Amino acid sequence: MTSAMPTSTHHAALGGPPLTMFGPDFPFGYDDHLAHPAGLGRLPQDAHGSEVAVIGGGLSGIVAAYELMKLGLRPVIYEADQIGGRLRSVRFDGCPDDVIAEMGAMRFPPSSTSLFHYIDKVGLDTTPFPNPLAPDTPSTVIDIKGRSHYARTLDDLPPVFGEVASAWDSALEGTADFAAMQQAIRDRDVATIKRIWDPLVSHWDDQTFYGFLCGAPSFSSFALRELFGQVGFGTGGWDTDFPNSILEILRVVYTGADDDHLSIVGGSQQLPLRLWERAPDKPAHWPTGTSLTSLHDGKPRPAVVRMHRTAGNRITITDADGGIRTYPAAVFTAQGWMLLSKIGCDESLFPIDVWTALERTHYMESSKVFVPVDRPFWRDADPETGRDVMSMTLTDRMTRGTYLLDSGPHRPAAICLSYTWCDDSLKWLPLPVHERVDVMLKSLREIYPDVDVRSHIIGDPVSVSWEAEPYFQGAFKANLPGHYRYQRRLFTHFMQDELAERHRGIFLAGDDVSWTAGWAEGAVQTAINAVWGVLHHFGGETDPANPGPGDVFDSIAPVELGDVTEVL
C-alpha cells in the first residue's frame, strides 16, 4: 500500500530498477526463476507420469499444477467451488460481457512480477485501476465527518491531508529505513535487505499497525491518526488493518504492493482459466498439446473431504463423490482452516508446530456489493461547479469505499457500491443483498444529494462476504502481532529434509502461507516453492544455472526468532 496520500514520492525519488515483490523475508527472484530458459528443473525418468494431488484450483493450485505438468508429472486437481478461487469475476445477467464484478482480487501492482509472468504468458491485457487520487482516476471524493472534499490530486485537498501524507512518510523513514529498503529491493541486494529487515522483525513482531503509528512522533495527534485510518493509503482506508502486525504493513509498502494498480481486462478469473486450458510448449513426458484440461477430461475432481497417510508415506484422498485415490505427493492450496474443519485429516500429515501455526491463522473478513448501471453517468459535469457529478469515494460512512468502473462512454458500466473489511464487513453480514444496496444508496445520497444512483441501475446487484462463503474462511490471512513464528513455519514448510519421514510429501502453498497474503503474487510465489518441494521429493533437480527457492534457501532463509523460555 502507499498513500492515497502518496508514499509514492519515494518511488519517484528513487528511480532505477523496478520495485518488485522481492522479499523482504525471503528475497528470492521468482520472476527470474520462472523466465529462465532452463526451466524449473528435471525429474528422473521413472517419476514421469506420477500423479500429484493438487487441492484447490485457485491461482496457486493452477500455477503449481501447470508447472508440475510441464515437469512431466500428472497433477490431479481437486476443486470444491470453481476454478479461480479468490480470482472470481462475475458477470451481470443481461449486461455486456466486459461489465464485470471482481468479487475477490481486482487490482494488481506491477511489482507482482511473478504474477505478471503468467498474465503475460496467457496474453491478458491490463488497464489502470481507478484507485483514489490515482492519475487515471477522473476524480476522488473524500467524505469524512459529514464533509466532502473533491479532488483530482492530493494538492486539491485541504492541507491537513498533506500533513497526514508527510506524517506517514516520516513514520516509515524514521522507524523502518524506508528509502534504503526500497533501493535494496530494487537492486536485489539481499545482504542489505536482510541487514535492514531482520532486526525489524524481532523489534516489531509484537506491535500492531496502530501501535506503530502511536509510537511515531509524526502521528502524536489523534486527529492525524484518525484521518490516516480513514483515507491513508493508495487503496483507501486502512484502519481496519490497525490490529494487524505492523510487519504485514511494512511488507506491502516496501514492495510497492499498493501502488499503480492495474486491473485485468475481461476479469481476473481469466488467468487461472487460461492456464487451465493452456498447452505449454515442450512439456517433459507429455505429448504436445497436453493441457490441464485434457489431463482432467475437462473438469477437476470435486471437494476433498478426507486426507490421511497410508503405507509408504502416501497421501490418500477422499473426495465429495466418494472417490478415493492415493498419491506419493500432494500440494495443498486452500485456506488452512479447511484442514481443521471441512477436511478430515490425520494429525500425522504435518508436524505439530505446523498444526499450531495453521490453527492460529487470522483472516480478514471482506464484503463487496456491485451494481450494473446504464452508463458512466458520474462523468457528467455538474452545471454549477463543472465537477464530475460523482467520484471514486472514500468515506467514514458504512460504504467506506465506492469504485466507479467505466467500460467506455455511452456503455453499461459497474459500480462497486461498497468494499469493506473486518468489522465494517461484519456489519453487512446479516443483510440480504437488496437491503445492503438500500443502505449503501442512502449513504451515497448523503454525499451526492443531487445524484439518483438508483435510476441508473439496470440489473440485479451481486454481493459477497468471503467469511460466509462455504469453502473460504474470510478474504485472506493477515498476521496479528506475535505471529511471525507461525508464518515462518508455514512458509518454510516446503523444505522437508529435516522433517520426520512420516511428515513429508504434502506441501502447503497459496495465499495462507505467503508473506504477502492478500496479494496474488504470494499465491504464485508459494506455488513455485511447492513445485520445488515436489521436484525434490521425487529426486529431481534444478539446472545449476537456474537454482530454485529450495536450492538457495539456507543463504536467504527468513530470520528465525528464538524464545527465552521453553514452556512445554
Ligand X SMILES: Cc1cc2nc3c(=O)[nH]c(=O)nc-3n(C[C@H](O)[C@H](O)[C@H](O)COP(=O)(O)OP(=O)(O)OC[C@H]3O[C@@H](n4cnc5c(N)ncnc54)[C@H](O)[C@@H]3O)c2cc1C
Query: Would you tell me which residues interact with ligand X (CB under 6 A)?
Result: 55-61, 78-81, 85-87, 104-108, 303-304, 333-334, 338, 342-343, 366, 466, 471, 475-476, 510-511, 518-520, 522-523
Say if residue 40 is exposed, middle or buried (CB neighbours under 10 Å; 0-12, 13-18, 19+).
buried
Q: Minimum distance from CB of 500 to ligand X (Å)?
A: 25
Nearer to ligand X, 190 or 252 (CB): 252
Nearer to ligand X, 169 or 365 (CB): 365
Q: Minimum distance from CB of 439 to ligand X (Å)?
A: 19
Q: Minimum distance from CB of 72 to ligand X (Å)?
A: 23
Alpha carbons 339 and 9: distance in angstroms, whole number: 43
Nearer to ligand X, 73 or 523 (CB): 523
Q: Minimum distance from CB of 549 to ligand X (Å)?
A: 16
The answer to whether 501 touches 37, Cβ cutoff 8 Å, is no
Q: What is the CA radius of gyration of the chain?
A: 24
Alpha carbons 168 and 227: distance in angstroms, whole number: 11
Q: Minimum distance from CB of 301 to ligand X (Å)?
A: 8
Instruction: Pick the closest to residue 70 from 44, 45, 33, 43 (CA basis).
Output: 43
The answer to whether 213 touches 219, Cβ cutoff 8 Å, is yes
Say if residue 288 is exposed, middle or buried (CB neighbours under 10 Å; 0-12, 13-18, 19+).
exposed
Q: Minimum distance from CB of 476 to ligand X (Å)?
A: 5
Nearer to ligand X, 108 or 538 (CB): 108
C-alpha cell at 321: 463423490
Q: Minimum distance from CB of 87 to ligand X (Å)?
A: 5
Nearer to ligand X, 10 or 342 (CB): 342
Instruction: Pick the closest to residue 396 from 243, 159, 236 (CA basis).
Output: 236
DSSP result, 370-386: EEEESS-GGGSBPTTT-
Nearer to ligand X, 175 or 366 (CB): 366
For cell 525489524, name the residue: 200
Alpha carbons 404 and 401: distance in angstroms, whole number: 10
C-alpha cell at 117: 509472468
Phi and psi, residue 335, nearest 5°: -65, 140
For cell 493509503, name the residue: 233
Q: Minimum distance from CB of 454 to ligand X (Å)?
A: 25
C-alpha cell at 335: 485456506
Nearer to ligand X, 256 or 510 (CB): 510
Nearer to ligand X, 61 or 540 (CB): 61
Cα separations in angstroms, 522 against 40, 41, 411: 18, 21, 35
